[in-house]
């Protein structure tokens, strides 16, 4: 591990002043559309090109569960670490509109088991509990979860070319082992996936990321927070180099609480990243028809994947396996395999249908002792 300077400020301004050394992007880099990305993912016309994300002078450290591995492996170098664990962002609070404000430093475990998260956002609680291990969830922070790096094997292997780690060096995954890699929104420069489970639920719940820097505060819609790789795969998000995530806001979503499901498919039952995952939430009318829906996919793209046009197919319809299969096709339109991940297209298709069926039958949680009637559709 390279030597680094370490500080542990207790005030927000002090922390922000230190990270200001990274500079700022006047207009943060926009989400870059892949070949199949829907129109709402189009980049802003004034998208700027910030410095390579792996060369920041100063880095925040929260739980350290991803950053320390990257530093130890030599994937990143950080001459200066600013430990943010003393900053006042570890609370989970109600908002007047019935939503919640999740502190960036609240731990993943505390978030998943918070009574209001379980009651109002069981989809989020389930997604968090599907990730990592109890020990990691006790340490991992909400802000850090959003910024965890890809699990592409080549990214972590400094002996191999990787455009995300070393821009311009090439992509070892293209033509290499791709079992975990993306099938949607890829570019010729990178086919990595975003590894978070929590973020898939946050995408479906249309969370808003609150950030702060010495320049002020701003809010980033979750759909705009993570990027597709385009020609800058080294940059994962639209967060500027000098910005701190302070909170994640959850808009009211009680209409989905009774019919949501997070389905994660992986190589083993726990402690593995998703090959494909689905966050599905349905708002059902009294007559059983679907009023609105949200579906986000994990493990298939460089960011949680949504297609509003696919979700619109459900509106006003009665749940059925045939309808869910049509939605799956629309969500996966343009999906392309790269050899050893070809199987992901069928896997994701089946997972979408299954998650929608489970959601239609009622929310199944990891913490309920009673088993709901699944109507024989499992």
Among 36, 141, 187, 361, binds ligand FAD (CB under 6 A): 141
As measured in angstroms, the least distance from the Cβ of 86 to ligand FAD is 12
As measured in angstroms, the least distance from the Cβ of 260 to ligand FAD is 18
Question: From the centroid of its chain, how far is CA 262?
Answer: 13
Tokens for 67? Answer: 């950053």
Tokens for 211? Answer: 């950030």
Sheet arrangement for strand 276-284 = 260-265, 276-284, 290-298
Among 18, 22, 32, 65, binds ligand FAD (CB under 6 A): 65
- Nearer Cβ to ligand FAD (174/296): 296
String of DSSP letters for 196-240? -SHHHHHHHTT-EEEEEETTEEEEEEHHHHB---TT-TT--BS--
As measured in angstroms, the least distance from the Cβ of 235 to ligand SF4 is 12
As measured in angstroms, the least distance from the Cβ of 172 to ligand SF4 is 5
- Nearer Cβ to ligand FAD (65/341): 65
Residue 140 as a binder of ligand FAD (CB under 6 A): the answer is yes
Residue 112 as a binder of ligand FAD (CB under 6 A): the answer is no
Partner whose footprint covers residue 248, from ligand FAD, ligand SF4, none (CB < 5 to 8 Å by kind) = none
Partner whose footprint covers residue 220, from ligand FAD, ligand SF4, none (CB < 5 to 8 Å by kind) = none
Instruction: Please give the Cα distance from 61 to 2 (Å, whole number).
Output: 15
As measured in angstroms, the least distance from the Cβ of 251 to ligand SF4 is 32
Closest C-alpha among 113, 305, 14 to residue 102: 113
CB atoms within 10 A of CB 64: 16
Instruction: Please give the Cα distance from 200 to 222 (Å, whole number).
Output: 10
Choose one: 161-169, 181-189, 190-198, 281-289; the region binding ligand FAD (CB under 6 A): 190-198
Instruction: Please give the Cα distance from 3 to 80 (Å, whole number).
Output: 9
Site string for ligand FAD, 246-275 (x = CB under 6 A): ---------------------------x--
Tokens for 377? Answer: 């559709």
For ligand SF4, the binding residues (CB under 6 A) are: 150, 152, 154-155, 162-164, 171-173, 190-192, 233
Among 22, 31, 41, 60, binds ligand FAD (CB under 6 A): 60
Instruction: Please give the Cα distance from 91 to 249 (Å, whole number).
Output: 12
- Nearer Cβ to ligand SF4 (61/173): 173
Partner whose footprint covers residue 150, from ligand FAD, ligand SF4, none (CB < 5 to 8 Å by kind) = ligand SF4
Residue 62 as a binder of ligand FAD (CB under 6 A): the answer is yes
Question: Using CB under 6 A, which residues numbered 69 to 88 contact ligand FAD?
Answer: 84
The separation between the first and the last C-alpha atoms of the chain, rounded to the nearest angstrom, is 49
CB atoms within 10 A of CB 258: 14
Partner whose footprint covers residue 56, from ligand FAD, ligand SF4, none (CB < 5 to 8 Å by kind) = none
Instruction: Please give the Cα distance from 342 to 338 (Å, whole number).
Output: 6
Closest C-alpha among 297, 363, 343 to residue 38: 297
Is residue 76 a contact partner of residue 51, using CB atoms and an 8 Å limit?
Answer: no
Binding site for ligand FAD (CB under 6 A): 59-67, 84, 104, 108, 131-132, 136, 139-141, 143-145, 147-148, 195-198, 244-245, 273
């Amino acid at each position: 591990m390279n030597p680094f300077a370490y500080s542990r400020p207790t005030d927000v301004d002090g922390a922000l002043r230190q990270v200001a050394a990274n500079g700022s992007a006047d207009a943060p880099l926009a989400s870059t559309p892949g070949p199949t990305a829907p129109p709402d993912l189009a980049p802003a016309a004034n998208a700027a090109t910030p410095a390579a994300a792996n060369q920041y002078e100063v880095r925040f450290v929260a739980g350290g569960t991803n950053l320390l591995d990257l530093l130890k492996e030599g994937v990143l170098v950080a001459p200066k670490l600013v430990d943010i664990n003393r900053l006042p962002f570890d609370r989970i609070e109600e908002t007047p509109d019935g939503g919640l404000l999740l502190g960036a430093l609240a731990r993943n475990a505390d978030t998943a088991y918070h009574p209001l998260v379980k009651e109002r956002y069981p989809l989020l609680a389930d997604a968090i509990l599907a990730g990592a291990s109890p020990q990691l969830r006790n340490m991992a922070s909400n802000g850090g979860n959003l910024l965890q790096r890809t699990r592409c094997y080549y990214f972590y292997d400094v002996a191999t070319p990787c455009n995300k780690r070393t821009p311009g060096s090439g992509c070892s995954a293209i033509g290499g082992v791709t079992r975990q890699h993306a099938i949607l929104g890829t570019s010729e420069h990178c086919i990595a996936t975003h590894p978070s489970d929590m973020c898939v639920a946050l995408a479906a719940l249309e969370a808003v990321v609150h950030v702060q820097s010495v320049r002020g505060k701003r809010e980033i819609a979750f759909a705009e927070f993570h990027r597709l790789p385009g020609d800058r795969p080294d940059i994962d998000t639209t967060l500027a180099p000098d910005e701190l995530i302070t909170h994640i806001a959850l808009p009211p979503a009680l209409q989905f609480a009774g019919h949501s499901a997070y389905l994660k498919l992986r190589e083993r039952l726990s402690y593995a990243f998703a090959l494909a995952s689905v966050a599905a939430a349905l708002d059902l009318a009294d007559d059983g028809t679907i009023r609105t829906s949200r579906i986000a996919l994990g493990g298939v793209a460089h960011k949680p994947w949504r297609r509003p046009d696919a979700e619109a197919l459900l509106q006003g319809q009665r749940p059925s396996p045939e309808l869910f299969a049509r939605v799956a096709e629309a969500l996966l339109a343009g999906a392309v395999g790269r050899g050893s991940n070809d199987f992901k297209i069928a896997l994701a298709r089946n997972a979408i249908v299954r998650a929608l069926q489970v959601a239609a039958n009622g929310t199944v949680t990891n913490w309920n002792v009673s088993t709901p009637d699944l109507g024989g559709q499992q």
